[in-house]
Copies of this chain bind each other. A is one copy, B any other.
Amino acid sequence: MGARLLDGLAVAATIRESVMPRVQAFTARAGRPPGLGIVLVGDNPASELYVSSKVKAGGESGLRVDLQRLPATATLDELLRLVDALNRSDQHDGILVQDPLPEAMGKGASQRVFDAIDPAKDVDGFHPINVGKLVQQRAHLVACTPSGVIEMLDRSGIAIEGRRAVVIGRSDIVGKPMAMLLLHRSATVTICHSKTRDLAALAAEADILVAALGRPGFVTRTFVKPGATVIDVGINRVTDEALARSLLAGSPRLAVFERRRSIVVGDVHPEVAEIAGALTPVPGGVGPLTIAMLLKNTVTAAEARKSGK
């Protein structure tokens, strides 16, 4: 167990503390707190959990957070009308529509909803104009998970410039923006995915390895250069007993699995802790940072709207 554990909860607390004076100053100036509107459609249990964490964290930081629910049977038009109302609301500076949407809404529904959110309130950074500005290195609002990873690296004293970074996963919400952010900090960035050949060998060239592919325990020790920093973005719920036993062998979390028959694990196999220089745990690594960055983005959006930027 050589790897230093990067404590996402502690870093997230620091970020949230740094946001507090901005919340207070905004509230004093505007006569209202920064406001975040969250929309949850249906009752996906994972989404319920994420949303309740966001509502709680927002409240603790002095934001106004309004959770609006739609039933799983809601139509895309109903959802778009709700987004439109939040776009027009003076009280809401940020809008977050929790993904995934019910499948019945159709395949392109999420992107249609993200496209409909006022870019100035797009605290998830999913609107194409904010994605484009990220590429052009001038975004105010950047996707929360990858920007949280950068904060984690910075606040943990891990240098980025000139380092080899490998991102496994090419999703719009993590892999691609992560690659862009690392590139803008002058890492040499490689993006890998399901079609990558010799993935383990390539990953093992990385000084900073970001696993964001969504496969439990996929990144084993052969993927990791000794001493590398490994960032585990995976949040995978495991109910298969054999898999849980293999991933949690020797961990007190195995008892949790045995009680609940279900547990959340990352994309990185626990054995990586023996070889990595630094590692984010799951849970308690990247997850809390995502929420902290959401609060930060909401305050940024509020300030920018107020100053007419």
Contacts and interface: CB of A to CB of B under 8 A. Distances in A.
Copies in the complex: 2
Interface residues of A, number: 32
B172 A135 contact: yes
Nearest to A127: B132
Interface string A186-200: 101111110111000
A162 to B, nearest CB: 5
B193 A190 contact: no
Contacts of A134: 132
A161 interface: yes
A183 interface: yes
Interface string A160-201: 011010000010100010011001001011111101110000
A112 to B, nearest CB: 11
A147 interface: no
Interface in A94-131: 111, 127-131
A22 to B, nearest CB: 26
A164 B193 CA distance: 12
Contacts of A180: 176
A306 interface: no
Contact of A193 (B128, B176, B186, B197): B186
Interface of A: 111, 127-136, 138, 161-162, 164, 170, 172, 176, 179-180, 183, 186, 188-193, 195-197, 202
13 contacts: A111-B136, A129-B132, A131-B135, A132-B135, A135-B135, A135-B172, A162-B196, A164-B197, A179-B191, A183-B193, A188-B190, A188-B192, A189-B190
